[in-house]
Amino acid sequence: MRPSAFDYHKASTLDQALALLAEFGDDGRPLAGGQSLVPMMNLRLARPRHLVDINALPLDAIEIRGDALHIGALVRHERYFTDPLIAEHFPAFLEAVHWIGHPTIRRHGTMGGSVSHADPTAELPSVCVLHDALIVAASASGERRIPATEFFLNAYVTALEPGEMVTAVEFPLPSGPTSGAFMELGERVGDFAIAGIGVVLGHDGNTITSARIVCSGARLVPVRSADVEAFLVGRTLADPGAQEAGRIFSAAIDPVGDHAASAAYRKGLIKELTRRCIAHAAGKASA
């Protein structure tokens, strides 16, 4: 037997799922696509005593609610490829999806699962931090919204409390024209990223009016850089200073070294990926 023993509960309503998770506390975990949790269980890195299968719950909407794009926790990754709202408002997000796992994983893995798993190299946590998304967490005692920048606490550790589960993620809609890009490097397509960079540039004509940038895989949580963002604002799409921005971001990060790449290699990679990513985003906007 690969995983340790657990009891299986199939929830048919959100209230039922939350009641079960409240009852089990630290011993319970929701099961959606299983693309992150089940590997952890097979390796016995996770040993929940109760799994609450939430696949039957109606949490799979992608729709605009107020001034944000609401993405339900059960939305499977492959849907982003063809969703017109993602393509229209979140080009960096759309590019990031190409880097998530491989087709079979993208067909089953979910938004809620990826953010709850909080792998330091994963794309969606990075995309959430990049876009200042809010993570919607529900429990039997109610619902709260946690800014993505406060949700990811450490590798595989989030702000979720026992009995809570992610029900949706809300991405604030951009207020004006934006461009964005996402790039990463791994040993093979679909592998864990050595590092990844995402960028969103708001612009008014040729002038960059707002900028956000994130790096995944270098630290234990996705990292933003206020210095790079401030550097980019006021520059032009034709000359965004991509190379200098790469230097600033690389200097600001103290990356981890591991079996895949040394810290020094990652530092160089962040510099170059940042340059390419900004140049690509700026190029798309001015095309």
Partner 1 sequence: MTMTETTLTVNGQTRTLDVEPRRLLADVIRQEFDIAGVHIGCAHGACGCCTVHIDGTPRLSCLTFAVQCDGRDIKTVESLGGFDATHVLQLAFKSEHGLQCGYCTPGFLMTLVPYVEENVARGTLPSDEDIREAMSGNICRCTGYHGIVAAVRKAIGDQIGGGQ
CA angle 253, 235, 150 (to 5 degrees): 40
Q: Which of 58, 5, 8, 2 is nearest to 30 (CA)?
A: 8
C-beta of 226: minimal distance to partner 1 in Å?
Answer: 36
Residue among 16, 19, 107, 172 that touches partner 1 (CB under 8 A): 107
Residue among 66, 142, 189, 238 that touches partner 1 (CB under 8 A): 189
Three-state SS for 96-126 is HHCCCCCHHHHHHCEHHHHHHHCCCCCHHHH
C-beta of 265: minimal distance to partner 1 in Å?
Answer: 23
Residue 158 binds partner 1, judged by CB under 8 A: no
Quote the CA–CA distance of 184 and 96 in Å, as a whole number.
9
Residue 238 binds partner 1, judged by CB under 8 A: no
In single-letter form, the type of residue at position 214 comes to V
Instruction: Specify the DSSP class assigned to residue 278.
Output: H
Residue 104 binds partner 1, judged by CB under 8 A: yes
Residue among 156, 159, 172, 190 that touches partner 1 (CB under 8 A): 190
**Interface residues for partner 1 in 196-235 (CB under 8 A)?**
none
Listed in sequence order, the residues at least 6 apart from 206 whose beta carbon sits closer than 8 Å to its beta carbon are 236, 237, 238, 286
Residue 121 binds partner 1, judged by CB under 8 A: no
**Interface residues for partner 1 in 34-73 (CB under 8 A)?**
34-35, 38-39, 41-43, 51, 53, 55
Q: Coil, strand, or helix at residue 203? A: strand
Nearer to partner 1, 189 or 238 (CB): 189
Nearer to partner 1, 109 or 246 (CB): 109
Residue 82 binds partner 1, judged by CB under 8 A: no
Measured N-to-C along each axis, helices 242-252 and 263-286 cross at an angle, to the nearest 10 degrees, of: 150
Residues of this chain that interact with partner 1 (CB under 8 A) are: 1-8, 31, 34-35, 38-39, 41-43, 51, 53, 55, 101-105, 107-108, 188-190
